[in-house]
Amino acid sequence: MRVLGVDPGLTRCGVGVVEGVAGRPLTMLGVGVVRTPADAELGHRLVAIERGIEEWLDEHRPEYVAVERVFSQHNVRTVMGTAQASAVAMLCASRRGIPVALHTPSEVKAAVTGSGRADKAQVGAMVTRLLRLDAPPKPADAADALALAICHIWRAPAVNRLQQAHATAARRAPRTSAVPVRKVSR
């Protein structure tokens, strides 16, 4: 499985590609950051992010794209920028028919470090160890993108089995006819 992880951001959008399967050693195929100038117009920044992600999709041809799910922060402006960059990543993948998975920061941290409260240094250290790198990827956004890809590779098989089980149960469930409900007035 080849996954492009995207840690969305307007100034620095982390991207990383990891290949492998759960239970086996993983391989990093690429890592980087799509940067935009903080003083540029918002629309231009989003176009720059789109171009950057499209280049990564062209070069690495991932089977899945894992994007960090936007969560509430104290700074609404930061949340909006993150959400906009996240939407660009989802749009680029969906336009190509590539499935998109959203993972929360705590879910990614727990998958990679064993603790949903791990700090950036711990995530970077575990990404370095898991991918057998010489040093943690810099900046932290790049390491976070790799962590997203790792999380998806490890969690996707279990999620797929759960979805299949739900679909099978839904097909096997006895079909009941809807009983009309009559409203009674007093």
Residues labelled as active-site residues: 7, 68, 141
Distances from the Cα of 42 to the Cα of 24, 48, 49, 85, 105, angstroms: 41, 10, 11, 10, 25
How many Cα neighbours within 13 Å face the side chain of 169? 6
CB 15 within 8 A of CB 6: yes
Of the candidates 148, 154, 144, the one whose C-alpha atom is nearest the C-alpha of residue 122 is: 144
